[in-house]
Amino acid sequence: MKDPIDRTGLRPRFWETVRPDRMTQKEWEALCDGCGKCCMNKLEDEDSGEVALTCIACRLFEDDNCRCTQYPTRHQFVPECVVLSPKNMDQNLYWIPETCAYKLLWTGQTLFDWHPLISGDPQTVHDAGVSMQHRTVPEFEVDEDDWENHIIEEPV
C-alpha cells in the first residue's frame, strides 16, 4: 500500500521512514529548515581541513527570511553554489552545519524539535536562535582578506 500524501504533497513524517537517498525531490527540499547557515561563506584551513563559519552571507542571501533571493537560478549568479543531493552528501558532510537536517538524517540522527517539519512552523528555527536571521554581513561589504575577522560559532 502506498503512503498517504498530505495537503503539502508530502508523506506524513516521511523523514522517519524514508532513507534520504530514497526521498522524492519535494521531500528532499522540505528538509531545509531555513536557517541560512549553508549560505554563509566559510573558511577552510588548508592544513587541518577544519571549516569555520563566518557571518558573511552570499550575495544572494536575504537576511530577513534566510532564503536565497534567486534560488531557482542561483547558479547563473553564483556558479560555485553547492546543490546538496543524496549523490554528493558524503563529500559535503565536512562543511555542512551540525544542525542541518540533511546532515542529521544522513548520519542517522533525528531532527530537532524546532525544525519546521516537526513544529509545523517555519518561524521556530528563528525563535530557537539557530538561524542566521539578522546576524549577517553581505559579502560585498567585506574584503576577502578580512573574512577571518568574521568567523563565528555556529548558532545551535
Assess if residue 146 is contained within a domain: yes
Which residues form the domain of 28?
Answer: 14-152
pLDDT on residue 81: 93
Residue 1 lies in a domain: no
Non-local (6+) Cβ contacts of 4 within 8 A are: 11, 12
Domain count, the chain: 1
Where the chain has pLDDT below 50, the residues are 1
102 part of a folded domain: yes
26-38 pLDDT tens trace: 999 999 999 999 9
Q: Does residue 24 fall inside a structural domain? A: yes
Is 9 among the domain residues? Answer: no
Structural domain includes residue 3? no
Residue 85 lies in a domain: yes
Cell numbers that stand for 150 in this block: 568574521
CB 53 within 8 A of CB 39: no
- The pLDDT value recorded for residue 156 is 64
Nine-digit cell string for 125: 528555527
Domain-located, residue 26: yes
CB-CB contact of 13 with 21 (8 Å): no
